């Protein structure tokens, strides 16, 4: 309930009755202050007129007045500048560290605010705020979607910066790991990131003109060049074909040369995985991309259009994998290019966040702006999150919108953070909303 009191105070959703202190003085909230999300009083630099006197200082909010002592604010000098103690229930007089009694005010929560808040927390239907969607202005929706889009890019930037840091500050390596992670397309994302961390690109670069050797290192470091990793029914065929043995022997030579250790094969998930997404296929595509000098950050930065971006990330498998999904298992010949769907996801989740993150790092606004432009030009993702919002009347135009809705779902709706959501705010403040 304390969070709701914070919300009511911050947005001045006060009851129609006059606000009064416990000793009967009128209270006029001129400025509720700056909401503090860190240690210290809840609101800084509030401006409040109490009994005709203007006060400027901090405000502390509690569900019950006695919580002041529970939280030991009476021993903390940081709370000495609290000019008003706002509570849901006044059950005690309180003193600050100086021994001075605080001015207190009981803040009733309007019935409609409480009702709407309970609806948002308890409704099983997603999104719980669906009734307000048709009433929202285009400006409200656009501004919130833009903020969410930026928030999502910044969140992805944090993850990229963390990978770069783990690579001793190498943005090239950080990009490769980010790209590899998204080649896992959810199910094998963690395994691909672990694998990429075990691929020594500085050693691979010694053999960058040899696709076979690149593939040998890539497959070997993935733990895929052990006979026991091949389903038993395909092992004999794999040995007879010769490619597996040739690739394995090359890896053993390179592993000895560079002191390489593969990851655990058991990290890879195959259950309910489409053959197109088998690690063998994705790693072969990455090897081909790396060989063609398409997997580098410098190539990515040079892309000035969505078309160029797609050409940069487009790739196919090496010749052996045109007729295989695993070693020894023959399939119809297919170049196994990245599908338009997969390519679109890689652009949204890898290329664009990388441009944004690197732009932030370099202080290059053009790169950051290019990221937003690309999102506006790309087709919106078609997933259950987007479809649910479309069903309640929210129009989705492009990938920027779909990314915003994914951020909304994962960071706000799933955690019931309706008090931090602008749509939730509109739902809460409308007395007529039912």
Three-state DSSP at 106 gives strand
Q: Could you please report the per-residue DSSP string of 175-188?
A: HHHHHHHHHTTTTT
Q: What pLDDT, on a 0 to 100 scale, did the predictor assign at position 434?
A: 45
Q: What pLDDT, on a 0 to 100 scale, did the predictor assign at position 433?
A: 53
Three-state DSSP at 57 gives strand
Q: How do the domains of the chain map onto residue ranges? A: 2-109, 170-377
Q: Are β-strands 104-106 and 82-89 bridged in parallel, bridged antiparallel, or unpaired?
A: parallel
Q: Could you count the other beta carbons within 10 Å of the beta carbon of residue 409? A: 19
Three-state DSSP at 386 gives helix
Handedness of CA 207, 209, 210, 215 (dihedral sign): positive
Token digits of residue 113: 């605010």
Please give the model's pTM, rounded to 2 decimal places. Answer: 0.85
% helix, strand, coil for the chain, step of 5 = 55, 10, 35
Q: How far apart are CA 334 and CA 156, in angstroms?
A: 34
Q: How far apart are CA 64 and CA 50, in angstroms?
A: 21
Three-state DSSP at 416 gives coil
Q: How far is CA 428 from CA 121, 309, 416, in A?
A: 12, 42, 14
Three-state DSSP at 40 gives coil
Handedness of CA 204, 208, 210, 215 (dihedral sign): positive
Q: What pLDDT, on a 0 to 100 scale, did the predictor assign at position 403?
A: 97
Parts of the chain with a pLDDT under 70: 430-434
Q: Could you please report the per-residue DSSP string of 252-286?
A: HHHHHHHT--PPPGGG---TT--GGG-HHHHHHHH
pLDDT tens, residue by residue, 361-399: 999 999 999 999 999 999 999 999 999 999 999 999 999
Q: ∠ at Cα 115 (46, 88), nearest 5°?
A: 40
pLDDT tens, residue by residue, 195-225: 999 999 999 999 999 999 999 999 999 999 9
Token digits of residue 425: 């705010």
Q: How far apart are the first and last CA of the chain?
A: 21
Closest CA to 26 of 18, 16, 34: 18
- Whether the CB-CB separation of 17 and 111 falls below 8 Å is answered with no
Q: Which residue reads 């008003």 in tokens?
A: 84
Q: How far apart are CA 325 and CA 315, in angstroms?
A: 16
Q: Which residue reads 């929560």 in tokens?
A: 109
Closest CA to 383 of 416, 345, 354: 345
- Whether the CB-CB separation of 192 and 183 falls below 8 Å is answered with yes
């Amino acid at each position: 309930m304390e969070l709701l009191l914070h919300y009511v105070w911050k947005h001045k959703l006060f009851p129609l009755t006059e606000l009064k202190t416990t000793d009967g003085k009128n209270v006029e909230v001129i400025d509720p202050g700056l909401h503090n999300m860190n240690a210290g009083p809840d609101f800084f630099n509030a401006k409040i007129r109490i009994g005709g006197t203007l006060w400027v200082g901090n405000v502390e909010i509690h569900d019950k007045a006695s919580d002041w002592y529970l939280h030991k604010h009476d021993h903390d000098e940081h709370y000495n500048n609290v000019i008003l103690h706002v509570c849901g229930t006044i059950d005690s007089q309180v003193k600050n560290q100086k021994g001075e009694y605080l001015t207190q005010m009981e803040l009733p929560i309007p019935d409609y605010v409480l009702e709407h808040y309970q609806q948002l927390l308890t409704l099983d239907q997603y999104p719980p705020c669906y009734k307000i969607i048709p009433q929202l202005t285009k400006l409200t929706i656009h501004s919130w979607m833009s903020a969410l889009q930026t928030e999502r890019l910044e969140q992805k930037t944090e993850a990229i910066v963390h990978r770069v840091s783990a690579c001793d500050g190498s943005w090239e390596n950080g990009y490769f790991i980010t790209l590899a992670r998204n080649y896992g397309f959810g199910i094998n994302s963690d395994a691909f990131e672990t694998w990429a961390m075990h691929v020594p690109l500085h050693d691979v670069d010694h053999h960058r003109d040899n696709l076979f050797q690149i593939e040998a290192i890539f497959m070997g470091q993935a733990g895929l060049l052990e006979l026991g990793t091949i389903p038993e029914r395909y092992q004999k065929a794999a040995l007879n074909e010769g490619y597996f043995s040739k690739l394995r022997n090359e890896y053993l030579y390179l592993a000895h040369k560079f002191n390489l250790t593969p990851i655990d094969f058991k990290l890879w998930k195959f259950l309910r995985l489409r053959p197109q997404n088998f690690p063998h296929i994705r790693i072969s595509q990455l090897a081909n991309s790396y060989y063609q000098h398409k997997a580098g950050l410098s190539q990515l930065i040079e892309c000035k259009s969505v078309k160029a971006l797609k050409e940069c990330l487009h790739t196919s498998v090496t010749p052996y994998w045109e007729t295989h999904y695993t070693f020894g298992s023959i399939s119809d010949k297919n170049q196994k290019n990245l599908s338009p769907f997969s390519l679109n996801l890689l652009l949204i989740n890898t290329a664009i966040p990388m441009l944004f993150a690197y732009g932030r790092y370099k202080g290059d606004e053009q790169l950051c702006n290019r990221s937003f432009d690309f999102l506006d030009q790309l087709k919106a993702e078609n997933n259950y999150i987007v479809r649910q919002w479309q069903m309640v009347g929210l129009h989705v135009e492009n990938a920027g919108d779909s990314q915003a809705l994914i951020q909304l779902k994962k960071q706000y709706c799933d955690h019931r953070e309706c008090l931090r959501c602008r749509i939730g705010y509109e739902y809460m403040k409308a007395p007529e909303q039912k």
